Amino acid sequence: MSLASALPSTTPSLILQRVGQSRGERLLFEDVDLALHPGQLLWVEGANGSGKTSLLRVICGLSAPRAGRVHVAQSLLYVGHKPGLKDQLSVIEQLRSSAALAGRPCTESEALAALAPVGLDDAAGLRLAQLSEGQRRRTALAQLWLPQVPPLWVLDEPLAALDAAMAERLAQRLDRHAEEGGSVVFTSHQALPLRRPVRSLRLGKH
């Protein structure tokens, strides 16, 4: 077990202080306080419309919170519900393009190696328009297997459209990232088969 898993670092990857958000006049959540340390996994739970995606977007800086402060100490990787997939690109073009757009370019062999765990190495040359929803989701998640990844991962419904075997592989990847000192914030309507302890943040009415 690494040091990160045994003892939280004193410098949190992510700090939320009394964060609140609303959509129009409707209050989604308020007074969310949190400090996420390297090596920790956070599951953001809640019913549809409780503000899970809104919280992730606030963390990423894609929308401003209605109240409170957000401090992200490290660079982050965001795989949203709509992860910027272009139908006109091939699977490998999309993966390399996403990595380069994030400032972390990868070689073709690195991209192919990242596609293998998500079962798309044989489909690397296919256009995204030809893929199923599950395969498109796998394409977006393949970024997690690239050699250069930022320490903080923010994943919105990563299990959506995935089968049980892929969900297991994804959980193993998240476990390994946390063991290596990374942090993960994710939303999901179902539990991931993670081995490491998972912190939980429930939004909306209990």
Partner 1 sequence: MGAAYQAAAALARREGLGVLRQPAEWLTPLAFVVGVALMFPLGLGPEPARLRELAPGLLWIAALLASLLSLPRLFAPDLADGSLEQWWLAPLPRPLAVALKLAVHWGFSGLPLVLLAPVLALAFGVDDPLPLALSLLLGTPALALLGGLGAALVLHARAGAGLLALLLLPLEVPVLVFGTAAANGGPNADSALLLLGAWLAVLLALAPWATSATLSLMLD
What Rg value do the Cα atoms of the chain yield, rounded?
17
What the block records as the tokens of 29 is 């959540």
Only segment of 11-19, 99-107, 108-116, 176-184 that touches partner 1 (CB under 8 A): 99-107
Minimum distance, C-beta of residue 152 to partner 1, in the bound complex (Å):
12
The reply to whether 5 sits near partner 1 by the rule CB under 8 A is no
Q: How far is the CB of 63 from partner 1 (least distance, A)?
A: 5
Instruction: Map residues 38-57 to x or -, x wherever contact with partner 1 holds by CB under 8 A.
Output: -------------------x
Residue from 8, 20, 68, 105 touching partner 1 (CB under 8 A): that is 105
Q: Output b/e per residue, 152-169; b: 16+ Cβ within 10 A.
A: bbbbbbbbeebeeebbeb
Q: Is 60 in the site for partner 1 (CB under 8 A)?
A: yes
Look at the block and give the residue holding tokens 């993960």. Answer: 184
Cβ neighbour number for residue 6 with a 10 Å cutoff? 8
- The per-residue DSSP string of 54-67 comes to HHHHHHHTSS--SE
- One residue of 11, 18, 61, 189 binding partner 1 per CB under 8 A: 61
Contact call for residues 135 and 129 (beta carbons, < 8 A)? no
**41-45/76-79 β-pairing:** unpaired
Would you count residue 20 as binding partner 1 (CB under 8 A)? no
DSSP type of residue 91: H
Nearer to partner 1, 102 or 160 (CB): 102
100 binds partner 1 (CB under 8 A): yes
Q: Which residues bind partner 1 (CB under 8 A)?
A: 57, 60-64, 76, 78, 80-86, 88-89, 93, 96-98, 100-105
